[in-house]
Structure 1
């Protein structure tokens, strides 16, 4: 029997999955990030080898039984001149396996729509969108560096809006809401200026730690804090702009285009999804749908498609276990 390898490589960890031809999971492994700017090119090769052989050693599958692989590698094609070096690093790890290398946006799109054409927006620590039309043409939008205001609508962006409103409520530019005391209490601020000590000095404005503050906005939104609700409205508008930018640049033939989503921001549920639906309603051909499969399942779908395997409902059902 043929087997398929899917690699979902993000900025924090890399997940490896081997499935059979019916999408049934045979082996899994979690390894460190494969982002070449964090682990180096030799690190990319090592992570790829470690994940593969961890899967093989925990199953009865032999290397030569793997028919195809899709490797989603965070950072790939972000800086185009570095792409050939990343390709060589992966090929060094998998000289015998037919494989396709892509960015981690690609498997998120494939998973959310089970391989169909459409648009997916990722809103986690950062934000970025990718669309694919019926002819296989692709278009991306957003994902510019957060340091100059990019990653709009992401958890980091939402957290920065929280800090912004806290400082305005502190110095009288805005009336105080529950947000003000919630930030002081949750982050143990004796003085309002301690927000600078916490974020800038203690955390060095670490992107991941700051992004985690977005959870405070969610908690406040559930308590009907008007500023928190407004932040989610603004985030939804930013994310809608990503979908619409892709739609307007990528020619689709269908009059019913599914658009989906990935990432932790969407765990806020109706607070982000309801305003997002409203903003997208200006283009009636776009239909916002919950993701069908996870990004790691998307990497298996892309591996199977690379091997010209038809993705049927049985495969999709089996991949739902991921």
Structure 2
């Protein structure tokens, strides 16, 4: 999506304005609306997960996205902003985001709330109702909320030890299989060649030199995952094994969450970049049907950025209603 293509609409002067920000490991999205749900501007910036990006980069990327979205409204006119940022559940990361918010907004004029990206995905998809949101993108995590508002998180421990089944996790598994194919511990060569092509390397000697010098960034591993998905869809057995392992891990997140909530029947949202890919989504849905009887996979009503808007509106006492939801829904389908 080309950020320069976003158009903004000059708002009437008497309404309240809200900003929703959805920040992840690959990009940051921002959306500005009024209290009726009319979208006034949108924007896109780089990644803003404070666990993987420096505070300066997070600030820069959030600012880029919000400035695009707010071209028609000065920041002092924003009644409330909600930042739904991957990694925000970490105490140090949350503190970093609080400092960023203090630099971007006048806290005396603007109500600022912060959550992780799971919370805005859940709010956007289920509109605050009971259910489980599974996000599988650059990272992974699962948030379930019951009818009493009790929340359970499974996964989401971060890149180094978790992110099971995510794009970065698939990319890491591909690198591991690549070196095993190179020295004969694993059969096949297609995956090895696809990895070399992705990295623009001509030999495994170059591969070794590169990885002795530096690791492959989390975002790059997530991009590599799409190459592995393409291989799997074409029938490559090692690639299929990696994807099947990812599906198993994600299904396990859902099972643990459902058990912790104690719900026999549950609605499940599948969100994140991997779930936008038909091959991956179909395999995951088949696994859910086999392993979680009583679960119903539903399409999200709104996207996570709209979920951030709803949380911001609620913080100012705005009641959610069908005309408001429909206005945001129309905008979500266009974005």
Q: TM-score range by the shorter chain?
A: 0.7 to 0.9
Q: Which one of the candidate residues 306, 311, 320 is aligned to 1:310?
A: 320
Conservation of the 8 A alpha-carbon contact between 2:274 and 2:280: no
Per-residue CA deviation, residues 143-200 of structure 1 (Å, 9 max, x unaligned), is: 223334x211011211122222222222222322533443445545443343323444
Alignment of 1:98 with 2:107, yes or no, is no
SS in 2 for 1:101: strand
Q: CA deviation at 1:42?
A: 11
Q: Are the counterparts in 2 of residues 115 and 302 from structure 1 also a CA contact under 8 Å?
A: no
Distance between the aligned counterparts of 1:47 and 1:175, measured in 2? 42
Aligned counterpart, 1:153: 165
1:282-322 Cα deviation digits (max 9, x unpaired):
32221122333222121112223332412425234334233
| Runs of 5+ consecutive residues of structure 1 not aligned to the other structure | none
Return the match for 2:204 from 189, 192, 203: 192
Q: How many corresponding residue pairs?
A: 314
Cα 1:212–1:176 change in 2 (3 A) is same
1:18 aligns with 2:27: no
Match of 1:225 in 2: 236
Q: How does 1:160-179 map to 2 (within 5 A)?
A: 160-176=172-188, 178-179=190-191
- TM-fit CA distance, 1:11: 4.2
Deviation at 1:275, TM superposition (A): 4.2
Match of 2:277 in 1: 268
TM-score (ref. length: structure 2): 0.79
Give the structure 1 partner of residue 141 of structure 2: 128
Alpha-carbon RMSD: 3.2
Question: Which has the bigger relative contact order, CA under 8 A and spacing at least 6?
Answer: 1
In 1: Cα distance, 2:45 partner to 2:188 partner? 45
- Deviations 1:241-297 (CA, angstroms, capped at 9, x unpaired): 111111111244xx6422112222223323343244324533222112233322212
Give me the whole-angstrom Cα distance separating, in 1, the residues matched to 2:321 and 2:185: 56
Deviation of 1:239 after TM superposition, in Å, equals 0.6
